[in-house]
Structures are given as structure tokens and as C-alpha cells.
Amino acid sequence: MIDLRDANYFVTVAEAGSLALAAEKLGRTQPALTKCIQRLEDDLRIELFRHEGRQLVLTEAGHVFLTRMRSLLGFATEVRREMSDLGTGVAGSIKIGSAATTAEYMLPHLTAQLINQAPAVTLELTVGMNDVLMRALIEKSIDLVFGPLTRSTSESERFESFSLTSDDVVAVASNDHPIFDHPLTPETLAAYKWVLAGPGVATRQWLESTFRSLGLNELQVQMETSSIFLLPRLISETKLLSFISRRNLAPNAVGEHLREIPLEATTMRREFGIIRLREAYFTPAARLLVRIAEESRAQFENRPLPGTESSF
């Protein structure tokens, strides 16, 4: 039987890649960690690490074992939290992962309501890219992800999602852009250069896929940026096209001086909401936060989406 302390020591060593770094982090001696690794390898009858210079590198079996130990430790944490919740009611901690947009747009209102209704709850917030957050959700290092609902999260039985608001992403240009002097067609868009988010961002991937499906030339991306707040001036002064939320074109929004290029073929419909792992323990505090969010849907419908394009 694998001891949870040994499992924790192994994961720490594997992630640090060094006994010295792991010993410093855990407050243990290097010999104690060496004995732990030897104990595990003797028990499993397989090598978990190999030495490459001063680095400890996982073997193939070590990588598999690391995945399993992370799951084991995550499950153990869930058991502790569930037992604690049974005794304390709506208390404990919620670990939230969020895209930057939803962190600014949704979470201030929702967390204020949560704290008002459950003052004993504490919150841990991680802001990052959606792929990183989904990996953390699967590893059970966070409880909920606030962000865009993709096809993979909506159609997979592994996840449960709660839609909170919808949004259209559209092609835009400066008001005086020469594109508006001609009939607007997808082919017209392909003739101009763009300022967009990086290639790993869902909105850009969708636009590139749409261009391919329409048989158009590849997007001419002249500039990449991670900040939507830079886009209006960039678009106005460079005459580049871009792809942003329609809500950001509203009066007093960040892109109020820009103009939509109204083409159905290049209008991306998306939803924002909450994603959880079905198999994970759903704490009373997390359930309360989801309920508060669902009751707040109407407040999100007509507000501009601030934040950074790279987080979508």
C-alpha cells in the first residue's frame, strides 16, 4: 500500500527535478527523500527516475506513476474537504480558475455575493489561459473554471458546464477604413492585413479555420497582441483589421470608435460560463457559487466584455 506522504514526496521530487530543491520545499533532508524513492521503487519493482547529470528525470514508468499519484493526492484532498464540509456546512475553500476576461467581468460581483451569503468561505483564484486551466481542473488542483465554453467541454461527458452569457466576436476596422468603400465580402477581408491575438487563442483559431473553409488565402497577420486595450488605437492608426467582441463596440466600451464589418460568415458565436469535472467532489460552497452565478445571468447579458484577448 502506498503511503500518502511518500506519494507527496515523490510528486514534489518529480516536479522539482532535483532532490535538493524538493528537500528545501518540503523541509526534509535529501537522504529522507532518497529513502522514499528507493522504498517506492522496491515496492513497485521498477525504476522511477534516472540521473542525467545533476537532474533527476522520470522514466516512462515514472511519468505514469506521477499521473496516478497526482490523482491519488487530489482524491485524498477531496475526502478531507468532504468530511470537513459535513461538520461545518457552507465553509472551506473554493479554488477558481478564470480567463482574465471573466475574472474582471464576472467574478467581482459573484464573489461579493458569495462572501455575503457564506462569510466563512475562502477563495483561491488562478488567472490563466484556458488550456492551462482545464489541465488544472482535470488534475483537481482547481474546482471550477470560469471562461469560454468550447465544443470539447460542452460535448464531453467528463465535464459539466453552466452557461452564463453569450457573445459574438466580429471583424472590425477603423471608421474611415477603405474596406467600407467597396461591397463587403469574405474575399474583401482576405485582401487586408490584421492585428490579432496569438495563434493559440480560440478566436484566432476559429477565424483561421473559417478562412480555410471558405477557400480564402491565409490571414495576413502583421501584428500580434495579448491586450485588447491596445487594439482600438492600433486599428485606427495602422488601418489593420481585427477580431473582437461585438460588446466592445458599444458606447463607452473600449472599442466604441471602431466599426463592425457585418458579415455573417465571419461572426463567431460563443458562450461564457462555468466548467467543473463531473467526477470531482462538488463542495457546498462551490454549489452555492454556481447557483449565485446562474441567478446573476441577466446582469451579464448587455455589459461589455473587458480584459485581454489572449485569455479567450
> Along the 312 residues of the chain, how does pLDDT read in single tens digits?
788 899 999 999 999 998 999 999 999 999 999 999 999 999 999 999 998 887 889 999 999 999 999 988 888 887 776 676 655 556 678 999 997 767 777 888 899 999 998 888 889 999 887 778 888 998 888 999 998 887 777 778 889 999 888 888 899 999 999 999 989 999 999 999 999 888 877 788 899 999 999 999 889 999 987 665 667 777 878 889 999 888 778 787 777 888 999 999 999 988 889 999 998 888 888 889 999 999 888 777 655 554 433 333
Q: Which amino acid is at 47?
A: E
d(CA 256, CA 247): 9
d(CA 73, CA 46): 21
Please count the other Cβ atoms lying within 10 Å of the Cβ belonging to residue 17: 15
d(CA 64, CA 204): 34
Q: At 260, is the secondary structure helix, strand, or coil?
A: strand
User: Residue 85's pLDDT is what?
Assistant: 60
Q: What is the DSSP letter of 197?
A: -
Q: What is the DSSP letter of 269?
A: E
For residue 253, which of 236, 228, 227 has the smallest C-alpha distance? 228
User: CB under 8 Å to 94, separation ≥6 — which residues?
Assistant: 114, 121, 122, 123, 124, 143, 144, 283, 285, 286, 289
